[in-house]
Amino acid sequence: MPENQAVQPGTLALMILRTLEVLGPLHGYGVARRIEEVSKQKIQLNYGTLYPALLKLEQEGFIKAAWGQSENNRKAKYYSLTAAGKKRLAQEAREWRRTADLIAAFLAPREEVP
């Protein structure tokens, strides 16, 4: 059984935006399952974590929502990326890559300088 990992602050929005960019419009359950799939089940999202993040992204104009029918004929809210969301995703991705590179530099084995 894989060990669950907490979602780092500021990363859930990036995961949601990237998921919608790659897969197109999805309902919340689909977003959660995709994030869990990509993380190899290390991240398990619950409604109390996911839906406030979706609502915040919608209020900020980065995603939009529309009601539709799910695969099992239930009414579901589908989320999709907006133009502002695409810009935000690109910006966030650049910032996370810079941060990851910086941390990697500190964690890389180095010879000590006398």
Mean pLDDT, residues 50-59: 96
Measured torsion, CA atoms of residues 66, 68, 25, 95, in degrees rounded to the nearest 10: 40
- Please name each of the domains of the chain with its CATH number: 12-107 (1.10.10.10)
Two tokens, residue 107: 């964690």
The confidence band for 10, taking pLDDT boundaries of 50, 70 and 90, is confident
Alpha helices in 10-113 (DSSP H): 12-23, 28-38, 47-59, 83-107
Please state the pTM of the whole predicted model.
0.85
**76, β-bridge pairs:** 68
DSSP 76: E
Q: How far is the C-alpha of 31 from the C-alpha of 53, rounded, in Å?
A: 11
Spell out a b/e string for 98-112, using b for 16 or more CB atoms within 10 Å of the CB, else e.
Answer: eeeeeeeeeeeeeee
pLDDT single digits (tens) 17-42: 999 999 999 999 999 999 999 999 99
- State residue 19's pLDDT score: 97
| Average pLDDT of the residues of the chain | 90
pLDDT > 70 in the chain, percent: 92
